[in-house]
Amino acid sequence: MTSQLSKRVTIDIEPDLYKKLTLKAAQDDCSVSDIVHEAVYLLLAEDAEDIADFDARRDEPSTDIEL
């Protein structure tokens, strides 16, 4: 999945998590980098969706909730 447009980064991962990542990569026939890339992409996409929802509701009136 690496291309000339990719940026190389270094991250620290706990040994147990890295072991799980390498096993997952082997099972899925992909690289650890592919898994990390997809996870980051999904996280950022979720954030973008949340921001879009917030922006769409920005002008709605506030509602107090009494407990």
The residue length of the chain stands at 67
The answer to whether residue 36 sits within a structural domain is: yes
H or E element, residue 21: helix 15-28
The answer to whether residue 37 sits within a structural domain is: yes
The answer to whether residue 21 sits within a structural domain is: no
pLDDT digits (tens, 9 = 90+) for 53-62: 667 777 778 7
Q: Are 56 and 20 spatial neighbours (Cβ–Cβ below 8 Å)?
A: no
The answer to whether residue 51 sits within a structural domain is: yes
The answer to whether residue 39 sits within a structural domain is: yes
- Residue 64 confidence (pLDDT): 80
**Residue 43 is part of which domain span?**
31-57
- Residue 3 confidence (pLDDT): 61
pLDDT digits (tens, 9 = 90+) for 23-50: 999 999 999 999 999 999 898 888 777 7
- Residue 63 confidence (pLDDT): 80
- Alpha carbon of 26 to those of 10, 11, 31: distances in Å? 21, 20, 8
Q: Is the whole-model pTM more than 0.75?
A: no
What rounded mean pLDDT belongs to the chain? 86
Q: How many domains does the chain have?
A: 1
